[in-house]
Structure formats: structure tokens, C-alpha cells
Amino acid sequence: MKQFFGKRSRNALGLVLLISLSIHIVAVIIFGTIKFVTEQLREEPELQAVEIAPPTPEPPRSTVNVEQRTKSTPPPRLQTIVVNNPTEMDIPELNIDVNVDTSSVVSRDAGSFGGGGLKGVRNMAVSANLFGMQISSSGLGVVLDISGSAHAHLDKAITEIDSNFPTAYIILVVGCGMTETDGTNRKDSPPGKPRVVEYNQRGSNEKYDKLSRSGPAQMEQFFRKIGAKRSEELRKYFTRRDNLYFLYGGDIVAANYAFEYLIKQNVDTIYWFADFADRVDKPVIEKLTKELQRNSIKAFAHNFMGRPVRPDVVEMTDATGGKSIALIPGQDKKK
């Protein structure tokens, strides 16, 4: 009995030890497996560097300031165009069938052949020689004596003026005085206060246009003196020319009314072509001189008879920065 229990106890103990060892081995295997898996999970995957192309830069945008652009590109300045026009010789006749080149004049729609030039606008400055006087002007006004003494020189004067300043204002005046008048000075003059009217309008009653001292009557006498062919050319030309006027009504000798009209047209220069044989009242010319100075208008005086310009007119031209000359058109010497 004792032998039986001793042997059996040893077998049970061995079995227990065997089972315990097996459990430990399994535990070790399980623990090892868990540890291995855990360590693998903890390891971070190695990232590979990827080259990324740099972005293409956009072209720089223009950021020019308007003020900077204005300063860097100043507006073009007006240029003076010099017209070489010999005046110390006979002036060729005006060809009515040939268009006048007005490319040197801006701000007007056309030249002297009826294109409807704009009033009151000064143009690009043009420099030209009028019977020995160098005149630079961007807006020329002309006071043209058309009395009998001027008839021998009118054709040359008109050709000279229009070949250089085709859009100039021309006012036809019977004489060259300067007076204040209420329109009752002369019985043989058109009625009313002196006024400037367009060449084709004239007065309201044709009988006054035929009076000896009226502008239309004086022009009619001039046309008859220059021959039928030339007369026909100029008649047609005058009816089509822009900015051509008569001083009409009252004492039409009073050229100061023509000056005042030109001042209102914003001219910068006035060329006076006359014989300076009529009366000039000192208060009138002094007042006119101040108006010319105030408006920065230069006055030029040309005595077509070759005699000296009267002193009071010379004072006016000098005061305004202009000039006075005595020269018979077509002659090469001043007297």
C-alpha cells in the first residue's frame, strides 16, 4: 500500500511539472510574439524624399503710376514752322483751281477755300515773311485797306497773305482811320454803327452797297481795274474764302472797329495794310493799344505807299511788340 502511494505521487508530481513547463513555454512564446509585433508596429516607416519642381514665377505686372507716366512722357511742344516766301519780287497770281496746302495749320477744318474754319481757336504757330516783316502767328488777323489808293496793291497783298496764312481773318476796310462814331458821320456811308459782316452777307439794302464809300462799291472798282479774267478768278475765290469780312455801316473808315472784332476772335497777331492817311483820334488808339497789350496781341503796320507810318500808329506797334514798315509791294527797297 505504501509502495503504491509513493509511486503514484511521483508520477503526479512529474505530470504537474510537465504541465507547468509547457505553460511557461507557451507563455514565453506568446509574450515573445506580442513583443515582436509591438516593436514592429512602433517602428516609423522611412519616408523617401520626392523632388518637387519650383513653381514658375509669374511675369511682373506693370505698376506704372499715371503721374509717373505723365512725367516721363511730356506732351509734345508746339513747333514753329518757317515758310520761306520771297517777298522782294513780284507775287505770282493766286491759282483758284489749286487746293491750298494747309498741313502747317491745325485746329481748323480747312484752308482758304471755304472749308468752314473754326473761330476763336489759335493754331500751330506759323512763321512767314510778309513784305519784309517776319511774322510768327498761331492766329492772324488782317485789317486790309481797300480804298482807291490801295487798289494797285490789293492783288499782291491778298496773294502774299493767303500763300502764308490761308486761314487768317481778313477784314476789308475803306480807309484807315480810328474814331468813335454813332453812324452819322458821313451821308454817303451805309447806315448804322460800324460793324463787321461776312463778305457774302453785307447790308440789308443793296442801294447802300453801291455808295462810293461802301466796301462792296470799292471792291467793285478794284475788280474792274484788274481785268476780266483775274476779276472773275478773285470774285469766285472771295465768295468761297473762309473768314473774309467787310467793316460795314456808319463811318467805315474807323478801322478800330475791325481791330476790336479781331480781338474777340482770339487772334494773337494783327497785320494792318494801309496808307495811314486818315484821321486817328489819340484817345481811341490809346484805348486800343491797352486792349491789345491786355490780350497779348502784337500789331504790325505796313504803309503800302512807301511813306513812313504815322507816329501814333508806330507807338501802338512798338508797345505791343510788333513792327511798322514803309514798303511799296513789289519793290525791293524800303523807303
3-state secondary structure the chain: CHHHHHHHHHHHHHHHHHHHHHHHHHHHHHHHHHHHHHHHHHCCCCCCCCCCCCCCCCCCCCCCCHHHHHHHCCCCCCCCEECCCCCCCCCCCCCCCCCCCCCCCCCCCCCCCCCCCCCCCCCCCEEEEECCEEEEECCEEEEEECCHHHCCCHHHHHHHHHHHCCCCEEEEECCCEECCCCCCCCCCCCCCCCEEEECCCCCCCHHHHCCCCCHHHHHHHHHHHCCHHHHHHHHHHHHHCCCEEEEECCCCCECHHHHHHHHHCCCCEEEEEECCCCCECHHHHHHHHHHHHHCCCEEEEEECCCCCCCHHHHHHHHHHCCEEEECCCCCCCCC
pLDDT at 87: 40
Q: Which residue has the higher pLDDT, 260 or 89?
A: 260
Tell me: the pLDDT tens digits for 118-166? 344 456 788 888 888 899 999 999 999 999 999 999 999 999 999 999 9
Which pLDDT band, with edges at 50, 70 and 90, does 187 fall under?
Answer: low
pLDDT at 90: 43
Mean pLDDT for the chain overall: 75
Q: Rounded to two decimals, what is the model's pTM?
A: 0.63
- Considering the domain 79-326, what is its CATH architecture? 3-Layer(aba) Sandwich (3.40)
